[in-house]
Structure 1
Amino acid sequence: MNKKIFYTIIAIIIAISFYLKSEIKESVLFSFNFIKEEIISSYDIVKFELSSYFNQVKQIQTLTKNNKMYRDYIESIYPIISNYKKLKNFQIVNNPKIVFAETISYANLPDITSIYVNYSDKKLSHPKGIIYNKEVAGIVTKSYNSYSLALLNTNPNTSYTVFIGKDKIPGIAFGGEELIVKYIPNYKKINIGDLVVTSGLDRIFYEGVKVGKITSIIQRKLYQEAIIKPFYNPYYPTFFYVVNN
């Protein structure tokens, strides 16, 4: 082989090698740039996802906190709402002799015949009547700083004077499991079904507040007694009027 052909072959090999080296370099750079872009893109995606996740966690925590706050608030006002639903059945009475009062709690559980009401009279010297829907509910017997003790008709220590029927036959009503009127004069005629109202003579009630109706009559030697079916239901003590004057 002559030298000219040999040198020509060498030159071709060198040229080919240089060209291939350039192509490999570009391929490597392209691959590196592609991988770099993918890594950056993946990092951005992961960063966005993490940011979204932590934002969602924070939002969930905030919503959970608010939900608990609202739930606690609803639970706190529910008894008030439930209680005031009963107010729609409460009759408004325009009478300057009475003042509005609300039950605070039972006074001595398991006894449910005595309650505390948000009424106070530091000068209370004798019982005052309590009225629900123009019906006798019981009496206030003791006053404290900002509330008073009230005895319902079902309490055995409750008593007040009454009139029976159209002839206003006098008697004294006593509370307990049965509401009973005692000391009714024997010479006065009373009947089952007669209406019993307060007399006002004891200054506990004013005259004419409805108590109930006679369901049975008991004859004694010196006087009569009458069992009364009261109008007031003592199992739902909520709102009252107190005879204040």
Structure 2
Amino acid sequence: MSKFKIIILLGIFVFVSFRYSTDARHIIGGINTKILASYVDMKMRIQDKIDEHLSQQEEIQRLRAENQTLQKSAVLSIAFASKLNDILKEHNIAGYHPSVTMVESIGYTNLNDYGKVWLKFNEFNQSKIYGLLQQGYAAGIVVSNDGHPQGLLLSDPKSIFAVYVGNQKMQGIAQGNRKEVLVKYISQWLQPQVGDEVITSGLDGIFFEGIKVGVVTEVIEEESSKTVVVKPYTTPHVPSYMHVIMQN
């Protein structure tokens, strides 16, 4: 309803209010109130639709930009892999062809344990241990539990894999303690620092080298080695989709 029509109706209401009885004014006022309520309701619905449309446009634009970045990364990765395999051939070393597959976490193994999840993993081989990723970061490992694929997230004490700490690539072993992620067995003479980045080393065959794990937040002096506390880059949420590293 246009603003012009609303103004006319309000004029009629004022005129009747002065010329006619209280009952008449009451009836006309009730009609006018309903009209105004309908107008406000319609206006709000239209505004909600506009806001929803704008939100969808922003999301589409964000996803398009993200897709372009991923396409660029994919092209560069293919080029890098091709060059790497050429170098390996020159030195009579077998080509390197790592692969990643998507899996789905379908629920926690136990309701009071947020470190273990069941996975839907069609290519699972119970004789192997796999590296688990979420959003491109290390999220834990995959093992067999009675023949079924089980994800042990970073916080789980049995989630153990080899890592490097800092630019000097100080070797250590990442392991959860239910509350934190630790990197243990760093040589006593090395100097890890708060802020050092932790990445996978690939020395254990679970992950390949270079996958980011987190950042050092504390250094603990042990009797014969050093341990660092790590803040992970990702905290897996269940249910969700993750990726698993398939060995070369």
Q: TM-score range by the shorter chain?
A: 0.5 to 0.7
**Runs of 4+, deviation exceeding 2 Å:** 88-96, 120-126, 234-237
Judge conservation of contact 2:126–2:149 (CA < 8 Å) in 1: no
Write the distance in 2 (CA, Å) between the matches of 1:195 and 1:128. Answer: 22
Alignment pair present for 1:168 and 2:169: yes
Judge conservation of contact 1:120–1:148 (CA < 8 Å) in 2: no
Please name the residue that 1:150 is paired with. 151
Please name the residue that 1:140 is paired with. 142
Judge conservation of contact 1:120–1:143 (CA < 8 Å) in 2: no
For 1:215, which of 211, 214, 217 is the aligned residue?
Answer: 217
Write the distance in 2 (CA, Å) between the matches of 1:243 and 1:144. Answer: 21
Write the distance in 2 (CA, Å) between the matches of 1:242 and 1:122. Answer: 10
Please name the residue that 1:41 is paired with. none
Q: What displacement does 1:124 show?
A: 3.1
Question: What is the CA deviation profile of residues 48-71 of structure 1, one whole-angstrom value per residue up to 9, with x for unaligned ones?
Answer: xxxxxxxxxxxxxxxxxxxxxxxx
Write the distance in 1 (CA, Å) between the matches of 2:235 and 2:136. Answer: 13
Write the distance in 1 (CA, Å) between the matches of 2:174 and 2:144. Answer: 20
Write the distance in 2 (CA, Å) between the matches of 1:210 and 1:115. Answer: 21
Q: What displacement does 1:116 show?
A: 1.0
Please name the residue that 2:234 is paired with. 232
Letter in 2 for 1:221: E
Judge conservation of contact 1:121–1:143 (CA < 8 Å) in 2: no
Write the distance in 2 (CA, Å) between the matches of 1:194 and 1:201. Answer: 20
TM-score (norm 2): 0.57
Write the distance in 1 (CA, Å) between the matches of 2:111 and 2:182. Answer: 24
Write the distance in 2 (CA, Å) between the matches of 1:122 and 1:140. Answer: 9
Write the distance in 2 (CA, Å) between the matches of 1:122 and 1:216. Answer: 36
For 1:194, which of 193, 196, 200 is the aligned residue?
Answer: 196
Q: What displacement does 1:221 show?
A: 2.0
- State percent identity of aligned pairs: 32
Count of matched residue positions in the alignment of Structure 1 and Structure 2: 157
Question: What is the CA deviation profile of residues 123-182 of structure 1, one whole-angstrom value per residue up to 9, with x for unaligned ones?
Answer: 33242110011111111011677x511111121211111001111110001112110000
Write the distance in 2 (CA, Å) between the matches of 1:144 and 1:101. Answer: 19
Please name the residue that 1:244 is paired with. 246
Judge conservation of contact 1:139–1:152 (CA < 8 Å) in 2: yes
Please name the residue that 1:67 is paired with. none
Please name the residue that 1:179 is paired with. 181
Please, which runs of 5 or more residues in structure 2 have no aligned partner? 1-62, 78-97
Write the distance in 2 (CA, Å) between the matches of 1:174 and 1:237. Answer: 23
Please, which runs of 5 or more residues in structure 1 have no aligned partner? 1-87
Instruction: Classify 1:122/1:194 alpha carbon distance in 2 versus 1 (closer, same or farther; 3 Å).
Output: closer
Instruction: Classify 1:143/1:236 alpha carbon distance in 2 versus 1 (closer, same or farther; 3 Å).
Output: closer
Instruction: Classify 1:162/1:221 alpha carbon distance in 2 versus 1 (closer, same or farther; 3 Å).
Output: same
For 1:113, which of 100, 112, 115 is the aligned residue?
Answer: 115
SS in 1 for 2:195: coil
